[in-house]
């Protein structure tokens, strides 16, 4: 299953198993044959999630004698349906909920108070909640006044492990990228909130300013959860054609984690122009930092001091500001190297063994 929440769950499950725990994952039918050592995946949930799914989950918990039920929550991952919000109240074991994003879905800014009520119920019926973003933590503590909130960040879903025999220059040549060219990379789906249309316009600006830039689009296009991604992808394709950038954009398609790692290493700068601002909930950001990539992204809603030294920031939704930020790096090789070293420093607290230990501490607090 393509998507950040699925990748997060897989890597967290592996890290918890490395600590000696037995992990079971209940998820959609698409995840068939996904079990790994000490991580057993039950792919039984058909769409939509409903009362029948609840009965399956209750039976699954009893059958495996589970100590904790841990819900990984993001609205799109459950088809924007309300049923999942009622699940904690139906279960006979302690429930932890990780909120991957408390904000309203980007394409539905007027979701209204009903959504807030459902989200609040999901949180309050759980014995503990985890926020992966500081802004969400503040909402859970200050506004919703949940009694048991932990901030546990996400790490990179992509390990820094390349295919055997990886050669950076060889991979660049195979993609038709010359030594003198600036290779930008983007990692993630084509989602409205991620600003890819702005990125394509910024690329056109760079080319117009005689910067020999190309753009490497790493990974699948639409993912498994948000049906609007395909529509947005069509807009991206149309803009590329309109601006004459087709020969400047390289698509990898959905590839293995090792290939993602290699493609990140082949690039000079990773550009992530989130329309809603950079935040610690972005797995694509963590992947870029883990690979020591200089990152150009957009100003956060609230300061994120943990990683700010590794970022170059531009105004969200402003292709000119984005291209100017990239161009300044293009002419300053020393700054590029400084950002790469900073990325390697700031990523240390976001390593998965640390995240797994923090998660276990939340579980143990409920025993």
Q: How far is CA 17 from the centre of its chain?
A: 22
Backbone angles phi, psi at 257, to 5 degrees: -60, -40
d(C-alpha 233, C-alpha 284), whole Å: 18
> Cβ distance 101 to 4 under 8 Å?
no
pLDDT score of 327: 97
> Cβ distance 324 to 129 under 8 Å?
no
Structure token digits, residue 140: 């859970």
Structure token digits, residue 311: 């970022």
DSSP-derived 3-state class of residue 164: coil
The tens digit of pLDDT for each residue in 168-217 reads 999 999 999 999 999 999 998 898 889 999 999 999 999 999 999 999 99
pLDDT score of 86: 92
Please indicate whether residue 38 or residue 229 has the higher confidence score (pLDDT).
38
Please indicate whether residue 251 or residue 104 has the higher confidence score (pLDDT).
251
Q: Which CATH architecture has domain 4-155+351-364?
A: 3-Layer(aba) Sandwich (3.40)
DSSP state letters, 289-334: HHTT--EEEE--SS--TTTGGGEEEE-TT-HHHHHHHHHHHHT-HH
Q: Is the pLDDT of residue 223 over 80?
A: no
Residue spans in the chain of domains classed CATH 3.40.50.2000: 4-155+351-364, 168-350
Q: Is the pLDDT of residue 74 over 60?
A: yes
The tens digit of pLDDT for each residue in 125-179 reads 999 999 999 889 999 999 999 999 999 999 998 999 999 999 999 999 999 999 9
Integer-rounded Cα radius of gyration of the chain: 21
pLDDT score of 326: 98
For the chain, what percent of residues have pLDDT higher than 70? 94
The tens digit of pLDDT for each residue in 244-269 reads 999 999 999 989 999 999 999 999 99
Please report which helix (H) or strand (E) contains residue 118, including its range.
Answer: helix 113-124
Q: Is the pLDDT of residue 309 over 90?
A: yes
Q: Please state, rounded to an integer, the average pLDDT across all residues of the chain.
A: 91
Q: What is the pTM of this model?
A: 0.85
pLDDT score of 112: 57
For the chain, what percent of residues have pLDDT higher than 90? 75
pLDDT score of 227: 61
What residues have CB less than 8 Å from 83, skipping those under 6 apart?
48, 49, 50, 51, 53, 54
Strand partners, 234: none
pLDDT score of 106: 46
- 168-350 adopts what CATH topology? Rossmann fold (3.40.50)
pLDDT score of 132: 93
Q: Is the pLDDT of residue 107 over 60?
A: no
Q: Is the pLDDT of residue 225 over 60?
A: no
Q: Is the pLDDT of residue 315 over 80?
A: yes
What residues have CB less than 8 Å from 133, skipping those under 6 apart?
101, 102, 279, 280, 281
């Amino acid at each position: 299953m393509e998507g950040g929440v699925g990748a997060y769950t897989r890597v967290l499950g592996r890290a918890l198993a490395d600590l000696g725990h037995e992990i079971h994952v209940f998820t959609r039918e698409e995840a068939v044959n996904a079990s790994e050592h000490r991580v057993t995946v039950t792919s039984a949930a058909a769409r939509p999630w409903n009362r029948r799914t609840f009965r399956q989950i209750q039976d699954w918990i009893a059958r495996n004698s589970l100590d904790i039920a841990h819900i990984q929550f993001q609205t799109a991952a459950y088809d924007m349906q309300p049923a999942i919000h009622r699940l904690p109240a139906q279960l006979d074991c302690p429930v932890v909920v990780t909120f991957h994003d408390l904000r309203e879905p980007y394409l539905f800014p007027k979701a209204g108070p009903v959504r807030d009520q459902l989200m609040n119920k999901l949180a309050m019926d759980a014995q503990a909640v985890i926020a992966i973003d500081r802004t969400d933590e503040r909402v859970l503590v200050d506004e919703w006044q949940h009694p048991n909130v932990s901030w546990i960040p996400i790490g990179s879903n992509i390990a820094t492990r390349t295919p055997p025999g990886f050669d950076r220059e060889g991979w660049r040549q195979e993609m038709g990228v010359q030594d003198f060219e600036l290779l930008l990379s983007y990692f993630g789906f084509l989602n409205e909130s991620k600003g890819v249309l702005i990125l394509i316009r910024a690329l056109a600006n760079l080319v117009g300013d005689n910067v020999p830039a190309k753009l490497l689009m790493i990974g699948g296009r639409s993912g498994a959860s948000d049906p609007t991604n395909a529509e947005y992808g069509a807009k991206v394709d149309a803009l590329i054609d309109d601006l004459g950038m087709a020969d400047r954009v390289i698509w990898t398609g959905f590839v293995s984690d090792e290939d993602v790692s290699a493609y990140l290493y082949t690039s000079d700068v990773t550009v992530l122009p989130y329309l809603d601002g950079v935040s610690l909930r972005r797995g694509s950001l963590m992947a870029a930092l883990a690979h020591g990539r200089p990152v150009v992204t957009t100003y956060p809603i609230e300061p994120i001091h943990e990683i700010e030294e590794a970022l170059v920031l531009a105004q969200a939704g402003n292709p000119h500001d984005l291209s100017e930020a990239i161009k300044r790096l293009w002419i300053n090789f020393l700054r590029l190297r400084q950002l790469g070293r900073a990325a390697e420093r700031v990523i240390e607290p976001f390593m998965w063994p640390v995240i797994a230990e923090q998660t276990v501490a939340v579980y143990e607090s409920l025993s």
